[in-house]
Structures are given as C-alpha cells and as structure tokens.
Structure 1
Amino acid sequence: MNRSVFSRPALALAAATSLLAGACSAPRNIVSTGKVTPRGEFRGGGNVSFNIASETISQTGATLKSAAEAVGNKDTVGYSRTIDNLQLAALAYTLDPLRASPDLYLRYGIYDRFDVGYKYAFGSHVFDAMYQFMGPTGTPERPQGAAGATYGSIGLQFATQRAKLPSIPYLSTISDALGFSASRKDLIVPLVVSHSFGPEEEIGAFSYGLVYSRSFLRYGFENQKVYTPGGKVPSLPEQRVSYNSFGAFASAKVGYRYVYFLPSVGVYYQNYGTYRLLNNATGKLSGFTFVPSVGVQFRVPNSRR
C-alpha cells in the first residue's frame, strides 16, 4: 500500500540552525563574471557559502532528534509514520543540506573567450568551463574595452560527491538505524552577464544571471531493525532519481587588479520529486533554497602577453 508523506510545517529555527554543518553537495554560489579568465592568466580564491533550504528546514525540525534517538536506542522498531519521516529527513538533507561550506578554486584562460576551472568544496569535486560570447577580451594592463563594458558568458559545471549525513548525533543515528546510503552527481549551467567597474574589470564588476541544474541521485535503505506484525520490513534497493533546479543570482566583484572581494546571493526552486521509502511508502519533496556567499579572488596576470 502506498502512503503519501507530505512535508511538515517549519519548526523551531534553533533546531535548523544546529544543522549548519558540513554535508556534501554541489556548491551553487556563482561568483564568475561575464568576462572569462583572459588567455594565459590564472584566477584563484576561496568562498564561504550558506545553503538554506526551506524543505530541509521543514523535514528536520525539533521533533527529529527525539524520534531518531528513540529508534537508535532499540534493537527492533515497529514501523510507523515516524519511520517515514526519518527517511524523508535523511533524503531532504542529502538533496539540499543546511550547511555553511567553504570552497577553494583555480581557473585558467586557455584561449580568448574560453577558460576552465576546478573547485574543491571539501567533499565535492567540481570541474567546469566557461565561454564568453559578449564583450572584449583585454586585460587591465592591455584594455580593449572601456569602463562600463558589458560582458556575457555561459558555462557548464560537473560536480560529483558521495552524499552522507553530517556527524550530528541524531542524523548519524538515522543513517545507522535505517542503513541509508546515497551518492549524487550534478550538471550546472550558469548564464552570466556583468558590467565592468573600470576598463576590463580593473576595479571589479556587477554580475547577475540565471542558473539551471540537473541532479542525479542514487540512494537506498538497508533495513536491519524495522518490523511490521508480518516480519522485518524488506530493505529498499538502490533507487535512481533526478530532478531540475532553476535559479537566479547577483554578485559583486570589488578590488583592484590583483585582489578582489566577492559577495554573492542566489535563490533556487526545485521540485525534488517523489521518493520510494521502506514498506512501499512514498514521499514528495519540493522547496526554495537561498545561497548567500562571500569570498576573495586573486588574479595572476600573464607577464608574457
């Protein structure tokens, strides 16, 4: 028998705040401008972003801790809606974790209008490329465009990570008690437009744009302790699901030639879809995600150009 499990109302903010810890997912803070890294140059830096997901706050409310502890302290547990809620909490956190996450990145300009980059987000590996379709391709040392020039670029990012719940006692209990495991991959396509402060972004830029992403999740529950009157509930074998996300962002880049300060904010909506749970139950998840970030960027010019 299928059971539809709907998200609960948002609970205490304090409970959600306690979940702001590391968990692996693709970083969605967009700090690129419409101007790609000029040929032969390097850009690098780091950011701290905050992933604030409405559905995850709803699913991991104040009652989760006591429910998880009750399950973890028993050798056998009777199946109930609480078991469904614990599974949805684990899935919501894996799909869109509440977290504060640092990342480090490096970019290199291969050709005029085309650069590539790598980002390490402490558990997530991101590879990407950007193509500049609008605006000049000079540098602050050899400008081709005037102050206020408009740039545009489009990119493709690929992120991969093994998804796991963070080391918070009651979330770890869910993972152990229900045998939860998951992995995910993400494709992200940012479209960026920016307006230069000074020639060739010498003192920075203001950027904005749209983001589309497609996420692919594998997950399963290896049940060891949940029972019904008819016996142990069968484990849920690996499931494969995917979903779309749509977002918009704005960012600033402020500094001079070699060092810049980068604040950014993005908002996303995603219908995560319907997920199979133990005992033939199902659950639906959807919501908004807010991603503010702050970072610093360093520029290494090409001395031979």
Structure 2
Amino acid sequence: MTRLSSLRRVLVLPALATLLTTSCMAPRGITSTGKVTPHGEFRVGGNQSFNIPTETIDKTGAVVKEAADQLVSQEKVEYSDLVDKLQVAALAYVIDPVQPAADLYLRYGVIDRLDVGYKYAFGSHVFDAMYQFMGPTGTPERPGGAAGALYGSVGLQYATQRAKLPSIPYLDNINSLLRFEANRRDLIVPLVFSKSFGPEEEIGAVSFGAVYTHTFLRYGFDPRNIYKSGSATELLPSLPEQKRDFSSYGAFANVKIGYRYAYVIPAFALYYQNYGTYQLLNNQTAKLKGFTFIPSIGLQFRIPKFTK
C-alpha cells in the first residue's frame, strides 16, 4: 500500500505518454479576430495546440497505468475499486484528453459581416459561422475604417466525432478490459473582440473574448472478462449506452501578426467545466470537474477577392 500511495502522487506520466497521439475532440483554441472574412474573400490556415486538462491528468496517473498493466494480464479479473479507477480514467480521457491537437480550416465571406467555415481536426469535423456586429467591413486595399478600429463578432460552431482512446499501451489495456465505446457532439459559442493593427487588420490584430461550449456525450462499457466481487463464475453485467451533457466556460486571447496575405497567430485559452456525474459498472458513479489550458500557434493566409 505504501508503494501505491507514493505512486498516486505521480500525475504527469499520462501527459508524457500521450504527446504523440492525435486529436479526438473538437479544437477549442480560438484564433479568430472580431473582424470576419470580408465578402468574397477566403481565409485558409492551420493550428497546432495542446490540450492540458487538470482533471484528466489527476485521474490517469501512474497508479492507473500500473493497475491496467496488472489486470490485463489476468485470465479472470475480479471486480474491485481498481476497475472503477480504469473506467474513470477512460471517461476523463475521452471527455478532455491530454494531447496535441492539429487542425486545418477554410473560411469564406458570404456577405458583409457574415462568414462560414469548415475545420478538419483529424477525427473531428467542425462547421461554423461568425457574425460581425461591430466595426468596419472593408479590406486592406479598400479600408472602411481607420487604423486601430475596434471589431466584435459572435459565432456558432458545431463539431461531431467518434471519441476513442488512442492506441498507446496502457490505454489499449484499459480498452481491452472495458471495451469502451463513446461518441460526442460539441456546440461552441465564441464572443470575440479585437483591435486592428493598421487599417482593416493589414498588419494584424490583438483579440480577446469569452467562450461557452456544451458537450453531448454517449458512452458504454461492455467488459467480457470481469467477474463480480467474490465470484469466479458470475460475470459483471455490461453498462448500456449512457447519455450525459455538460457546459464549459472559457476566456481567451490571441495576437495576429503579419502583413496583408500571411499571419502568425499565437493564442491561449482557459476553460472551467463541471463535467457532471457518470454511471459506472456495478452501479457505481464518479464526479469530474476541472480546468483546461490550451496554448496554440497558427498560420493563416488571406486570399483576397479579385476584381477588375
């Protein structure tokens, strides 16, 4: 027990182990400015971010890794609190994974003050629209306002993906034991304000704002080799599909730096979420909540509208 107690203090191993995994959730880093894509123009780009959730790091520590390695090697697994820890680790990872996240996107200005976009996040598909309620609608070639103008916009994003544990050894062991399945949908509402560098963001902008997200999750466990406590013959019943949803509240800031056609965008976002209470096997439950930190760096290209 002394050894296990000391291992509980080691919380960062999963973060190191998942550095090379790919994204399985909607990107929540905000690199938008308050100025939407001008009518007839395109913006294309990509971002690289890292998702750092405190609760997931806490619930997927070294003691969980050791438990997964131990139980997966057994021919028959007797139910215990270690099985609960593995379930919580799987749920925490799918709800808010510790991992890098890359995305590519395309945006188009449909009309003045409204643009739409599509983002592919290597497993997640994101569709969104942004409406600009404040600031001019010109371009660097044809400014509609003075340098240093203020902009404001609000958006709605919808993301869908099948959530799964990445294929790395200790998470593979958890999946083998629990036969975990999940999928999720996310609604993201960013409110963005920005101040232009030069007329119409010719050399960039500084942006900040708030974000609300709402996540809808379905999940289930279907173990085939876990037996009731004290029994070597009675299998533990599966957990049928469960439905849960939760809200997240965030704030962000980013800086767009470049000239007319190409920009670099470093950004940072912070979220708090009470993930709620989740049903586990054997009629057990778990509560999850915590903060998430998302630093990111992006590259954006502007494709202006060509006119005679």
Which TM-score band (shorter chain)?
over 0.9
TM-superposed deviation, 1:23: 3.8
TM-superposed deviation, 1:82: 0.3
2:4 — aligned with what?
none
- How many residues are treated as equivalent by the alignment? 298
**Match runs of 1:279-294 below 5 Å:** 279-294=282-297
SS at match of 1:255: strand
Distance 1:10 1:281 in 2: 24
**Match runs of 1:57-96 below 5 Å:** 57-96=57-96
> Does residue 135 of the first structure (1) align with residue 135 of the second (2)?
yes
- Conserved in 1, the CA contact under 8 Å of 2:23 and 2:102? no
SS at match of 1:87: helix
- Conserved in 2, the CA contact under 8 Å of 1:153 and 1:193? yes
TM-superposed deviation, 1:175: 1.0
- Conserved in 2, the CA contact under 8 Å of 1:23 and 1:164? no
- Conserved in 1, the CA contact under 8 Å of 2:15 and 2:99? no
**Match runs of 1:31-70 below 5 Å:** 31-70=31-70
> Does residue 17 of the first structure (1) align with residue 20 of the second (2)?
no
SS at match of 1:47: strand
> Does residue 255 of the first structure (1) align with residue 258 of the second (2)?
yes
TM-superposed deviation, 1:173: 1.1
Distance 2:219 2:139 in 1: 47
Q: Tell me how large the CA RMSD over aligned residues is.
A: 1.3
2:243 to 240, 243, 248: 240
| TM norm structure 1 | 0.95
Change (3 A) 1:216 1:227: same
Distance 1:186 1:12 in 2: 28
2:302 — aligned with what?
299
- Conserved in 2, the CA contact under 8 Å of 1:16 and 1:61? no
Unaligned runs of 5+ in 1: 1-7
SS at match of 1:26: coil
- Conserved in 2, the CA contact under 8 Å of 1:43 and 1:297? yes
Distance 2:17 2:163 in 1: 19
2:3 — aligned with what?
none
Distance 2:217 2:51 in 1: 18
Which has the higher mean CA deviation after the structures are superposed, 63-72 or 197-206? 63-72
Distance 2:141 2:112 in 1: 16
SS at match of 1:71: helix
Change (3 A) 1:52 1:115: same
2:197 — aligned with what?
197
Alpha-carbon displacement from aligned partner over 1:9-40 (angstroms, at most 9, x marks no partner): 66242442222322401100100100000000
Q: Where in structure 1 do 4 or more consecutive aligned residues deviate above 4 Å?
A: none
Which has the higher mean CA deviation after the structures are superposed, 18-27 or 74-83? 18-27
2:105 — aligned with what?
105
- Conserved in 2, the CA contact under 8 Å of 1:11 and 1:57? no
Distance 1:301 1:93 in 2: 41
1:4 — aligned with what?
none
SS at match of 1:232: coil
Distance 1:273 1:10 in 2: 24
Alpha-carbon displacement from aligned partner over 1:92-150 (angstroms, at most 9, x marks no partner): 00000001111100000000000000000000000000000000000000001111100
